[in-house]
Amino acid sequence: MKLTFLGTASATPSRGRNVSALGLQLDQRSEWWLFDCGEATQHRIMRSPFSLHHLRRIFITHLHGDHCYGLPGLLATRGLQGGIDPIDVYAPPGLAEMLATIQRVTGSRCPYPLNIHDAAAGKPVVGQTFLSAQKSGTQAPSEIWLDEDEYLVRAIEVPHGPRTFSFIIEEKPQPGRFRVEHAKALGIPPGPIYSRLKNGERVKLEDGREIDGATLVDPTRSGRKLVIISDTTDGTAALPYSGDADVVIHEATYLESADAELAREHRHSTAAAAGRFAAKANAKKLVLTHFSPRYDRVEPGAKTIADLVEEAKAHFPNGEVIAANDFLTVDIPRREK
């Protein structure tokens, strides 16, 4: 799994930072997933390893413009480029209505299947016409928005302003590695028999020996866990599902030591809050993002992104803390156990 940050600014872009967007490349798949889509995200994608043709799923944390205004243009461009494969969009209430309005007033259309899963509807809204979602139903404190062969995506509602969700991406337990070198040492010829042994079957060889496949496979490995804490005053609701995270991505719009009042006023987190969350989650790595432009200033004595990192480290001393920049890539290696 590999993360690429496509936007790391808070509400307004700067010369060096675009607004929120994050790409996730999955192992051994051509497809990738997008988390949030602020204005001009498609321009960032053009400068990244990603292709709109291979975009498969989009997850939107909330409907503030710096997290979703880039979506209509991105979807349209994908169609103009000849994209034909379906896209699933998972979003809080209102996104389907927003896209339907844009389609109606502009006369645009989507030439590929676009499935909008609106949290208010309790079921997908499917079709090519951006149909509005139902307005009934409520979102559970923890809702599984996606459960597929290898991955599960959990959405947890957090306080911010409009309905806002943080996401936990969990890789399901992975089968242990088949020890090919041991099989060869036993004189087992390569071929279909390796697949049977990898599945743990007991196989009888032509020379009469019986080999228990389970003895040639390492123990099952636990899956990786990625936690994305979106704009919020308090990500505590996500903690029960975030334990032992490989990577926590947490908004850190302000310094608690200098701008705690601004954080409260604008309903955002501080770097200190991000550090506390990562420590409670027993995370391996914390990546800060969604920075106020005040910390990119170069005036003498101005607080900087480095100060945000140091504040987070003070509350998360046993893990790694880094600040995201646009186009930063973060690898999440497979777990050994």
Q: What is the pLDDT of residues 182-236, one digit of tens each?
A: 999 999 988 889 989 988 899 999 899 999 988 999 888 899 999 999 999 999 9
142-147 and 151-158 beta bridge pairing: antiparallel
Which residues span the domain enclosing 204?
180-216
- For the chain, how many structural domains are there in total? 2
Residue 269 sits in the same domain as residue 186:
no
pLDDT recorded at residue 99:
94
Could you read off the pLDDT of 136-167 as tens digits, one per residue?
A: 334 445 688 999 989 999 999 999 989 999 99
Residue 96 sits in the same domain as residue 50:
yes
- Torsion angle of C-alpha atoms 248, 321, 273, 328, degrees rounded to 10: -60
Average pLDDT over residues 72-87: 96
Average pLDDT over residues 299-313: 95
Residue 197 sits in the same domain as residue 249:
no
Give Rg (Cα) of the chain.
Answer: 23
Residue 52 sits in the same domain as residue 78:
yes
CATH (domain of 36): 3.60.15.10
- 242 phi and psi angles, rounded to 5 deg: -110, 0
Which residues are marked as active site? 66
Residue 253 sits in the same domain as residue 283:
yes
Residue 210 sits in the same domain as residue 225:
no
CA distance linking residue 186 with residue 100, whole number of Å? 63
Could you read off the pLDDT of 244-256 as tens digits, one per residue?
A: 999 999 999 999 9
